[in-house]
Amino acid sequence: MFEVVVLALALSMDAFAVSIGLGSKRIKQTNSLAIIAGLYFGFFQGVMPLIGYLGGKGVFGWVEAYAPWVAFFLLLLIGSKMIYESVSDGIEKDIANITHRVMLVLAIATSIDAMAAGFSLTILEVNPLLSCALIGVTTWFFSWVGVFVGARSGTWLESKAELLGGITLILIGLKMLLI
**Sequence spans of domains, the chain:** 2-178
The candidate with the shortest Cα–Cα distance to 98, out of 43, 159, 37, is: 37
**117 contact partners, CB below 8 Å, separation of at least 6:** 7, 11, 49, 52, 74, 75, 78, 169
Q: How far apart are CA 122 and CA 120, in angstroms?
A: 5
Number of H helices, E strands in the chain: 6, 0
Is the pLDDT at 149 greater than 80? The verdict is: yes
* pLDDT tens, residue by residue, 96-128: 567 788 888 888 877 877 887 787 787 778 888
Average pLDDT, the chain: 80
Is the pLDDT at 91 greater than 60? The verdict is: no
pLDDT confidence of residue 35: 93
pLDDT confidence of residue 63: 62
Q: Does residue 161 contact residue 13 with C-beta atoms inside 8 Å?
A: yes
Half-sphere exposure of 69 (CA within 13 A, CB side): 4
Q: How far apart are CA 168 and CA 174, in angstroms?
A: 10
